[in-house]
Amino acid sequence: MNKKNSIIASAAQLFQQQGINAIGIKEILIASQVPKGSLYYYFPNGKREIIIEAIKYVGNDLCNNVKTQLNSAANFETSLHNLISGMIESLKHANCVGTWSLSLMVLETVQDKELNELCQQIVSTLSNLYTEKLKSFALPDETAQQLGLTIQSNIEGALLTCVALNNTQQLEIVEKQIAQLVRSAVDAK
Protein backbone atom coordinates (compact mmCIF):
# COMPACT_ATOMS: atom_id res chain seq x y z
CA MET A 1 0.00 0.00 0.00
CA ASN A 2 1.44 3.39 -0.93
CA LYS A 3 1.75 6.21 1.58
CA LYS A 4 -1.33 8.10 0.38
CA ASN A 5 -3.54 5.01 0.60
CA SER A 6 -2.05 4.15 3.98
CA ILE A 7 -3.01 7.60 5.28
CA ILE A 8 -6.55 7.30 3.91
CA ALA A 9 -7.11 3.75 5.21
CA SER A 10 -5.67 4.57 8.63
CA ALA A 11 -7.73 7.75 8.93
CA ALA A 12 -10.90 5.95 7.84
CA GLN A 13 -10.38 3.27 10.46
CA LEU A 14 -9.71 5.84 13.19
CA PHE A 15 -12.71 7.96 12.18
CA GLN A 16 -14.95 4.87 12.18
CA GLN A 17 -13.75 3.78 15.61
CA GLN A 18 -13.36 7.07 17.47
CA GLY A 19 -15.06 9.73 15.38
CA ILE A 20 -13.79 12.46 13.13
CA ASN A 21 -13.66 15.10 15.84
CA ALA A 22 -11.68 12.89 18.22
CA ILE A 23 -8.84 12.29 15.76
CA GLY A 24 -6.10 14.71 14.88
CA ILE A 25 -3.24 14.70 12.43
CA LYS A 26 -0.92 13.24 15.08
CA GLU A 27 -3.07 10.11 15.49
CA ILE A 28 -3.31 9.68 11.71
CA LEU A 29 0.48 9.96 11.39
CA ILE A 30 1.03 7.35 14.10
CA ALA A 31 -1.53 4.92 12.65
CA SER A 32 -0.36 5.29 9.05
CA GLN A 33 3.33 5.32 9.99
CA VAL A 34 4.17 8.04 7.49
CA PRO A 35 6.21 11.19 8.07
CA LYS A 36 4.39 14.49 8.53
CA GLY A 37 5.89 15.81 5.28
CA SER A 38 4.35 12.94 3.32
CA LEU A 39 0.94 13.59 4.81
CA TYR A 40 1.03 17.25 3.77
CA TYR A 41 2.50 16.34 0.38
CA TYR A 42 -0.53 14.19 -0.40
CA PHE A 43 -3.01 16.30 1.55
CA PRO A 44 -1.88 19.95 1.44
CA ASN A 45 -5.22 21.06 2.91
CA GLY A 46 -4.69 18.83 5.94
CA LYS A 47 -7.34 17.02 7.91
CA ARG A 48 -10.35 18.22 5.91
CA GLU A 49 -8.95 16.74 2.73
CA ILE A 50 -8.22 13.49 4.56
CA ILE A 51 -11.79 13.41 5.90
CA ILE A 52 -13.19 13.72 2.37
CA GLU A 53 -10.97 10.91 1.10
CA ALA A 54 -11.73 8.74 4.13
CA ILE A 55 -15.48 9.11 3.58
CA LYS A 56 -15.04 8.17 -0.08
CA TYR A 57 -12.85 5.22 0.93
CA VAL A 58 -15.40 3.88 3.43
CA GLY A 59 -18.25 4.54 0.99
CA ASN A 60 -16.54 2.72 -1.87
CA ASP A 61 -15.61 -0.22 0.33
CA LEU A 62 -19.11 -0.40 1.81
CA CYS A 63 -20.87 -0.20 -1.56
CA ASN A 64 -18.51 -2.77 -3.10
CA ASN A 65 -19.04 -5.16 -0.17
CA VAL A 66 -22.82 -4.80 -0.33
CA LYS A 67 -22.86 -5.21 -4.12
CA THR A 68 -20.63 -8.30 -3.93
CA GLN A 69 -22.80 -9.92 -1.28
CA LEU A 70 -26.06 -9.06 -3.04
CA ASN A 71 -24.70 -10.68 -6.20
CA SER A 72 -23.33 -13.70 -4.34
CA ALA A 73 -26.52 -15.70 -4.89
CA ALA A 74 -29.55 -15.64 -7.14
CA ASN A 75 -31.84 -16.01 -4.14
CA PHE A 76 -32.34 -12.78 -2.18
CA GLU A 77 -32.48 -14.51 1.20
CA THR A 78 -29.12 -16.18 0.58
CA SER A 79 -27.60 -12.89 -0.59
CA LEU A 80 -28.97 -11.14 2.48
CA HIS A 81 -27.64 -13.90 4.73
CA ASN A 82 -24.17 -13.58 3.15
CA LEU A 83 -24.26 -9.81 3.66
CA ILE A 84 -25.38 -9.96 7.30
CA SER A 85 -22.90 -12.77 8.02
CA GLY A 86 -20.05 -10.54 6.83
CA MET A 87 -21.22 -7.78 9.14
CA ILE A 88 -21.54 -10.15 12.08
CA GLU A 89 -18.04 -11.52 11.49
CA SER A 90 -16.62 -7.98 11.50
CA LEU A 91 -18.40 -7.20 14.74
CA LYS A 92 -17.28 -10.42 16.41
CA HIS A 93 -13.64 -10.29 15.33
CA ALA A 94 -12.88 -6.57 15.27
CA ASN A 95 -15.56 -5.38 17.71
CA CYS A 96 -16.39 -2.54 15.34
CA VAL A 97 -18.43 -1.95 12.20
CA GLY A 98 -15.32 -1.45 10.07
CA THR A 99 -16.41 -0.22 6.68
CA TRP A 100 -19.90 -1.72 6.97
CA SER A 101 -21.37 1.56 8.21
CA LEU A 102 -21.03 5.29 7.73
CA SER A 103 -23.04 6.11 10.85
CA LEU A 104 -20.43 7.87 12.93
CA MET A 105 -19.14 9.83 9.96
CA VAL A 106 -22.67 10.86 8.97
CA LEU A 107 -23.48 12.05 12.48
CA GLU A 108 -20.30 14.09 12.74
CA THR A 109 -20.57 15.71 9.31
CA VAL A 110 -24.24 16.69 9.33
CA GLN A 111 -23.41 20.38 9.89
CA ASP A 112 -20.92 20.49 7.00
CA LYS A 113 -22.76 20.77 3.68
CA GLU A 114 -20.01 19.31 1.48
CA LEU A 115 -19.26 16.37 3.75
CA ASN A 116 -22.93 15.71 4.41
CA GLU A 117 -23.70 15.65 0.68
CA LEU A 118 -20.92 13.13 0.19
CA CYS A 119 -22.44 10.91 2.90
CA GLN A 120 -25.92 11.36 1.39
CA GLN A 121 -24.65 10.15 -1.99
CA ILE A 122 -23.23 7.01 -0.40
CA VAL A 123 -26.43 6.28 1.55
CA SER A 124 -28.47 6.78 -1.65
CA THR A 125 -26.16 4.45 -3.55
CA LEU A 126 -26.63 1.77 -0.89
CA SER A 127 -30.42 2.08 -1.01
CA ASN A 128 -30.24 1.87 -4.80
CA LEU A 129 -28.18 -1.33 -4.62
CA TYR A 130 -30.93 -2.97 -2.58
CA THR A 131 -33.61 -1.49 -4.85
CA GLU A 132 -31.96 -2.82 -8.02
CA LYS A 133 -31.59 -6.28 -6.52
CA LEU A 134 -35.28 -6.25 -5.57
CA LYS A 135 -36.29 -5.10 -9.06
CA SER A 136 -34.59 -8.20 -10.43
CA PHE A 137 -37.43 -10.15 -8.79
CA ALA A 138 -39.93 -8.17 -10.87
CA LEU A 139 -41.13 -6.05 -7.97
CA PRO A 140 -42.79 -2.78 -8.98
CA ASP A 141 -40.39 0.18 -8.91
CA GLU A 142 -42.12 1.94 -6.02
CA THR A 143 -42.24 -1.22 -3.90
CA ALA A 144 -38.58 -1.99 -4.65
CA GLN A 145 -37.57 1.58 -3.76
CA GLN A 146 -39.48 1.54 -0.49
CA LEU A 147 -38.08 -1.86 0.45
CA GLY A 148 -34.55 -0.80 -0.55
CA LEU A 149 -34.73 2.19 1.77
CA THR A 150 -36.26 0.05 4.52
CA ILE A 151 -33.49 -2.52 4.20
CA GLN A 152 -30.76 0.12 4.29
CA SER A 153 -32.31 1.84 7.32
CA ASN A 154 -32.88 -1.38 9.23
CA ILE A 155 -29.37 -2.69 8.66
CA GLU A 156 -27.79 0.63 9.63
CA GLY A 157 -29.89 0.80 12.79
CA ALA A 158 -29.13 -2.80 13.67
CA LEU A 159 -25.39 -2.19 13.27
CA LEU A 160 -25.56 0.73 15.69
CA THR A 161 -27.58 -1.27 18.18
CA CYS A 162 -25.19 -4.22 17.93
CA VAL A 163 -22.25 -1.97 18.74
CA ALA A 164 -24.13 -0.35 21.63
CA LEU A 165 -25.19 -3.68 23.15
CA ASN A 166 -22.02 -5.55 22.19
CA ASN A 167 -23.85 -8.44 20.53
CA THR A 168 -25.11 -9.37 17.08
CA GLN A 169 -28.66 -10.40 17.91
CA GLN A 170 -30.19 -7.30 16.30
CA LEU A 171 -28.60 -8.06 12.92
CA GLU A 172 -29.89 -11.62 13.11
CA ILE A 173 -33.41 -10.36 13.86
CA VAL A 174 -33.27 -7.75 11.10
CA GLU A 175 -32.14 -10.41 8.62
CA LYS A 176 -35.21 -12.53 9.40
CA GLN A 177 -37.58 -9.56 9.27
CA ILE A 178 -36.19 -8.25 5.98
CA ALA A 179 -36.42 -11.71 4.42
CA GLN A 180 -40.05 -11.92 5.52
CA LEU A 181 -40.83 -8.45 4.10
CA VAL A 182 -39.27 -9.35 0.76
CA ARG A 183 -41.09 -12.70 0.61
CA SER A 184 -44.39 -10.91 1.30
CA ALA A 185 -43.69 -8.32 -1.39
CA VAL A 186 -42.74 -10.97 -3.95
CA ASP A 187 -45.81 -13.07 -3.10
CA ALA A 188 -48.08 -10.02 -3.39
CA LYS A 189 -46.92 -8.92 -6.85
How many angstroms separate the Cα of 10 from the Cα of each of 7, 87, 160?
5, 20, 21
Q: Where are the beta strands (DSSP E) in 47-186?
A: none
Contact of 154 with 171, CB cutoff 8 Å: no
Give the chain's mean pLDDT.
93
Q: Pick the range with the lowest mean pLDDT from 4-13, 92-101, 124-133, 146-155.
A: 92-101
Average pLDDT over residues 145-154: 96
Q: Band the pLDDT of 144: cuts 50, 70, 90.
A: very high
Average pLDDT over residues 54-81: 94
All domains of the chain in start order, with CATH: 51-188 (1.10.357.10)
